[in-house]
Structure 1
Amino acid sequence: MTPVLPEFDPPVRVLKRAQYEAFAFELLDGDVRVRNESYADPTAHEYRVRIRDGVPDSCSCPADASSDGPCKHRVAVAIRPRILDLAIQMRVVADGGSTSRGDDDTADLPCECEQLSEALPCWNCIDAGRRDLSE
């Protein structure tokens, strides 16, 4: 995957905030929900970052709508290639395609299936291709 940060050219202030603020990420049908856990009420600081053509191209936050450059949420996704890659893979699968598992580094992730019910495999096993939700 090609890093998208040079394409963004974010201001230093935005880049620093994207790096040090306590963001939590959730995949949503090929997009990413970014929650800023740095605030007392993080749910009031949740925004959806839309991924288009492998790039975080818009965010539902007020700053993204009012600024010429990318907001800290878009930059936060862009500087975390694993999050961005998973969102891209999810978009492909949601659109009916498939993903390649050739050089994936998830095969070494530990299995956590024993902590879940028999019918639900852990994310690490699904992501590595060791188990399928239809099993």
Structure 2
Amino acid sequence: MTQSLLERLSPTNRVLKRAQYEAFAFSLYDGDVLVRNESHLQPGDHEYRVTIVDGIPESCECPADKRFEGPCKHRTAIAIRPTILDVATQMQMVADGGVTTEKAPIDPEDDTELQECDCQYLNDDFPCWECVKTGRRELPE
């Protein structure tokens, strides 16, 4: 049986929860991902580059990733958001001259894919930030 990416990274519960509820913004950067923590007063001071290797958020420029065992919250935040990871991986393939396949466009009449979100990859029924922000789900008490 193959391990999921989250099982492979094995973040601590504290890191996983912070990766779920903090307000991260993601930008693509040369096949890697810039992760900005919008929860801070000065978000620009909390932006770090996460290096993606073979579809895995392998390293981060943040101090915590270098200091502690296991992945930081920035790497974990990408791991629990497969769409971001997929886009970064596809960007790397295109930059390397690889071949990508186009996904079928989403039919506006079929909202099943629109209902999916990052919550489905999280444990403990804890909602992702996007669901909390848009009012689809509430934080547990």
Indicate the TM-score class for this superposition, using the shorter chain for normalisation. 0.7 to 0.9
Q: Which residue of 2 aligns with 1:20?
A: 21
Tell me the TM-score normalized by structure 1: 0.75
Q: Which residue of 2 aligns with 1:118?
A: none
Q: Which residue of 2 aligns with 1:72?
A: 73
Q: Which residue of 1 aligns with 2:114?
A: none
Asked if residue 51 in structure 1 is aligned to residue 52 in structure 2, the reply is yes
Percent identity over paired residues: 61
Greater than 6 Å deviation, 4+ residue runs:
none
Structure 1 unmatched runs, 5+: 111-135
Query: Cα deviation per residue 1:10-47 (whole Å; 9 max; x = unaligned)?
Result: 10000000000000000112100000000000000000
Q: Which residue of 1 aligns with 2:6?
A: 5
Following TM superposition, by how much is the alpha carbon of 1:70 offset from its aligned partner in structure 2, in angstroms? 0.2
Q: Secondary structure at the match of 1:108?
A: coil
How far, CA to CA, are the matches of 1:55 and 1:68 in structure 2?
17
How far, CA to CA, are the matches of 2:86 and 2:107 in structure 1?
16
Q: Secondary structure at the match of 1:40?
A: coil
Larger radius of gyration: 1
Please say if residues 3 and 78 of structure 1, whose CA atoms lie closer than 8 Å, have aligned partners that are also in contact: no
Q: Secondary structure at the match of 1:17?
A: helix
